[in-house]
Amino acid sequence: MRPVALLLAIAIAAGPGAAMAEAPGQAADASAIPYTIADFDRVEKIDAHIHVHGRADRLIARAAADRFRLLTINVDYPDFPTLAAQLEAAASLHKRYPERVAFAGTFSDAHFSSPHWTAMALRQIDDAIAQGAVAIKIWKNFGMVIQDPPGTYVMLDDRRLDPLFERIESAGVVLIAHQAEPLNCWLPLDQMTVRGDRDYFSEHPQYYMYRHPEMPSHDTILAARDRMLAAHPNLRFDGAHLASLEWDVQKVAAFLDEFPAARVDMAARLVHLEYQASKNWKRVRRFLIRYQDRILYGSDDAYGPDDSDDAALAAVHDGWVEDWRFLASAEPMHSLDFDASFRGLQLPRSVIDKIYRRNAEALFRGAWTPPTR
């Protein structure tokens, strides 16, 4: 579960966001006036990166109360339910709550070396799209897990993946890609910047690349992704987790500049923006304002299949509120993940509206539709 920032003090009326105010004598631009904490459950929002399993009726009711629509993402991840169960749950949620839930399908890496693998993967993609998927997820197993028989790691620019990317592009859906990991993954535990990464890689040593120097480097994995993007310039692309460049907003900016059609989401990486804000608040805020059309909000929360767990339901809600506090308010804050204090970014409401809703609506066209009567 992602870390939660803790409030240290009550909201301050005039914070760092006041720099966005108009000069004297000019009419104030309403779109530049920041939201407040009180606006959280008044503003329509989209969590464009969440993992919902099972029926999740209580979660959907909570999301509706919090004014959230959801994009639930299926992943070929061994800690999650089977891909068949994930697709069944996601398609059911979309069918029952078309105005509230959209979903991304995926495909299995099983039997990748088989000559029949491409056809099997294409069938999985087609099946997901036929059931309403607006995106397809490709996971970090490409670059970090799958190997050819000689022991070579399979990267995202492998020619055997080209038919999948071509199918995704021709279908007009989005490729959501999680390649590599936070840069902390390649560092000793005591050099990692945030507690959440220390905890995760301690508990998942198979993905802790510092312990596996024989495995590909962070740069190698991302270079392969970038070669794939250069080879497929018309592919609609969402780089999950700030495109795995989370440690430096200038690196994310360089990626977005190189690939103008790409988008990125914040899922599970807001803590890295908070960490950077504790050191250079203005740089983080300038980045989000400059690239306001290219960034999507996402939580990366995993919920279900048990829909009766009150603590799990509260954790999703509380995480949404704390993320809003960081992006929309100017409050002093502190995180359990690192020692330094920081302040909320108090982004203009026009920027919040894009990051929280408009960018997802534009990227995942027609994803959330009113139910037929």
Q: Given this model, what pLDDT does residue 20 score? A: 34
Tell how strand 135-138 and strand 101-106 pair up.
Answer: parallel
pLDDT tens by residue, 83-123: 999 999 999 999 999 999 999 999 999 999 999 999 999 99
Q: Given this model, what pLDDT does residue 373 score? A: 52
Q: Given this model, what pLDDT does residue 301 score? A: 98
207 Cβ partners below 8 Å, 6+ apart?
140, 144, 181, 185, 201
Name the phi and psi angles at 175, rounded to 5.
Answer: -90, 120
Q: Given this model, what pLDDT does residue 5 score? A: 36
pLDDT tens by residue, 264-283: 999 999 999 999 999 999 99
Say yes or no to pLDDT of 10 above 60: no
Percent of residues, the chain, with pLDDT higher than 70 = 91
Domains detected in the chain: 5-363 (3.20.20.140)
> Mean pLDDT over all residues of the chain?
92
With 0-12 CB in 10 A as exposed, 13-18 as middle and 19+ as buried, what is 290? Answer: middle
Distance CA(207)–CA(223), nearest Å, equals: 19
Q: Given this model, what pLDDT does residue 314 score? A: 98
pLDDT tens by residue, 201-230: 999 999 999 999 999 999 999 999 999 999
Q: What average pLDDT does range 296-321 have in this prediction?
A: 98
Say yes or no to pLDDT of 191 above 90: yes
Q: Given this model, what pLDDT does residue 17 score? A: 36
Q: What average pLDDT does range 318-324 have in this prediction?
A: 98
Query: What global pTM score does this model have?
Result: 0.91
Say yes or no to pLDDT of 160 above 70: yes
Distance CA(192)–CA(210), nearest Å, equals: 11
| DSSP 8-state symbol, 214 | T
pLDDT tens by residue, 347-357: 999 999 999 99
Say yes or no to pLDDT of 154 above 80: yes
Distance CA(161)–CA(157), nearest Å, equals: 7
240 Cβ partners below 8 Å, 6+ apart?
49, 137, 176, 177, 178, 264, 265, 267, 298
Element (H, E) at 219: helix 218-231
Q: What average pLDDT does range 2-6 have in this prediction?
A: 38
Measured CA distances, 179 to 60, 322, 347 (Å)? 29, 27, 29
Say yes or no to pLDDT of 16 above 60: no
Q: Would you place residue 3 in the very low, low, confident or very high pLDDT band (cuts 50, 70, 90)?
A: very low
